[in-house]
Amino acid sequence: MAQSGKRVLISAPGKVILFGEHAVVHKKLAVAASLGLRTYLHLEENETGQCRLHLPDVDIDLTWLLSDLSLSIDLKTLETGHPMDIPEEIKQQLENWMGVTTREAQRQAVLAFLYLFFVLKTDKPTSFGFSINTRSTLPVGAGLGSSASFATCIATALLVLFNHIPTGFAQSEKKDSYLDTINRYAYKAEQVIHGNPSGLDNSVCVFGGALSFRRGEGFVPLEGFQSLQLLLTNTKVPRSTSALVAGVTAKKEKYPNVIDPILDSIDKISLRCCEAFKSDSKADLAQELEDLVDINHCLLHALGVSHSSLEKVRTITGEYGVKTKLTGAGGGGCALSIIRDDVNVETTNSVAQKLAGEGFDCYRTSLGGTGVNAVILIDDSLDQAWLINADRETLEAHAI
Ligand SMILES: Nc1ncnc2c1ncn2[C@@H]1O[C@H](COP(=O)(O)OP(=O)(O)O)[C@@H](O)[C@H]1O
Ligand SMILES: C[C@@](O)(CCOP(=O)(O)O)CC(=O)O
Ligand SMILES: [Mg+2]
């Protein structure tokens, strides 16, 4: 295949919400940190006149002639509203290019890409073409922010491809302003995928680290944050973030006097967590986080976003004195367990083994690492096939 121009490896972390999921959609405080697990995107500019979108995690491999990708209305002129508040005829045109993408996961991913493509594209010669391949070490649709991590990578790739930001944005003096731009478009892609995202997930995936976040105000780095030992358990029960978020909103509208105090309590949990990180005593911090984890989970249960599989994880970890809450949208997906420093390795291994015996996947990964990054690929062997086949350690070593 003819090849010229940019070859870039972009990556963005997933996230874990320690406290405040769902409440954050309704302007309550949340606390979250980036994860060691990341999404990787291989971007290659070529001279095929085509665009290839290869998303093996959701079984998508689509190629379009770029000359065919044109809309009757310029989407840039509609950029200010919600991405899906676009005329029906435009939605229909976008749907037509999706072909037989029957699963919701596929539709959301392709639609997010097409939307950003039309908003960010600039004039190019007719021979201009490109391919995008992605691969995530995050479980997709399990509460660890795969959507925001994917959205961040796609937004970055298209911003770099169409020269809105330089490939070396992460090393630039204007890094903060470039990251703000990436965050703005990643949020738009999240809106396509989720409907009504708070903006917490994309902020963590773009900026990395640990932070507290309030919708409308943005984020503040978490003062005194120290990496925690967490065990993440994926129940593998599928669920939809957009449906769960809509469910909580409907409950809040139907029973405001009942639901609002629950959301206020969650706000206070996040505030208390921020205070706890400032404390000098590590033992006090662990004790307090454990209490807050327990209370936050029960409040989320009351909001209707737990699941029998998540309750099972709580029962199993509870037998070893380990505290657990759901993380992300819930309804299945992942739970996080706090592993205190005085919990020995044998105990953690026993818990993980017991959870695996139930068919759950367990992850031990670091918290608070780098946000989005882009690396120019010089070595020709680091091609699309390499991205799809490389192990996690190899990808991490090349991406950050
Ligand atoms: N690696 C990926 N490739 C393509 N699409 C992805 C990828 N990761 C996430 N997505 C998109 O994000 C959706 C999952 O988002 P969501 O339900 O919010 O779960 P999560 O908790 O993982 O963010 C998928 O259905 C898909 O549309
Ligand atoms: C439920 C929510 O608070 C987090 C959703 O996270 P995830 O998509 O399940 O990883 C929604 C949001 O903040 O937009
Ligand atoms: Mg998501």
Most confident of 195-204, 277-286, 338-347: 195-204
Which atom of ligand 1 is nearest to 148's Cα?
23
ipTM of the complex: 0.99
Residues 211 and 291 in one domain: no
Phi, psi (deg, nearest 5) at residue 42: -100, 115
**CATH code of the domain in which 45 resides:** 3.30.230.10
Q: Which of 201, 212, 240, 337 is catalytic?
A: 201
Residues 15 and 139 in one domain: yes
Q: What pLDDT does residue 2 have?
A: 47
- Say if residues 147 and 134 touch (Cβ distance below 8 Å): no
Q: Does residue 1 sit within a domain?
A: no
Residues 36 and 120 in one domain: yes
Residues 61 and 152 in one domain: yes
pLDDT at 1 over 60: no
331 in ligand 1 pocket by Cβ < 6 Å?
A: no
pLDDT at 102 over 80: no
Residues 325 and 260 in one domain: yes
Q: Reduced to 3 states, what is the DSSP secondary structure of residue 41?
A: strand
Please indicate whether residue 264 is annotated as part of the active site.
no
Model pTM score: 0.96
Phi, psi (deg, nearest 5) at residue 355: -65, -40
331 in ligand 2 pocket by Cβ < 6 Å?
A: no
36 in ligand 2 pocket by Cβ < 6 Å?
A: no
Residues 390 and 243 in one domain: no
Residues 25 and 165 in one domain: yes
pLDDT at 127 over 80: yes
Residues 32 and 159 in one domain: yes
| Nearest-5° Cα angle at 53, 33 to 44 | 85
Residues 43 and 189 in one domain: yes
Mean pLDDT across 221-235: 92
C-alpha dist (Å) from residue 323 to 211, 212, 320: 22, 21, 9
Burial (CB < 10 A; 0-12, 13-18, 19+), residue 251, is middle
Q: What pLDDT does residue 4 have?
A: 60
* Distance between Cα 194 and ligand 3 center (Å): 7
Q: What pLDDT does residue 228 have?
A: 85
Q: Does residue 2 sit within a domain?
A: no
pLDDT at 3 over 80: no
Residues 140 and 268 in one domain: no
* Distance between Cα 281 and ligand 2 center (Å): 31
Q: Does residue 119 sit within a domain?
A: yes
pLDDT digits (tens, 9 = 90+) for 22-42: 999 999 999 999 999 999 999
pLDDT digits (tens, 9 = 90+) for 256-276: 999 999 999 999 999 999 999
DSSP annotation string for 75-132? GGGGTTS-TT-S-HHHHHHHHHHH-S--SHHHHHHHHHHHHHHHHH-----TT-EEEE
Number of domains in the chain: 2
Phi, psi (deg, nearest 5) at residue 342: -85, 5
Mean pLDDT across 353-363: 96
Residues 233 and 206 in one domain: no
**CATH code of the domain in which 266 resides:** 3.30.70.890
Please indicate whether residue 147 is annotated as part of the active site.
yes
Which atom of ligand 1 is nearest to 140's Cα?
22
Q: Does residue 334 sit within a domain?
A: yes
From 34, 35, 245, 334, give the residue whose CB has the most ligand 2 atoms within 8 Å, as the site to mutate.
Answer: 245
Full domain range(s) for residue 258: 228-367
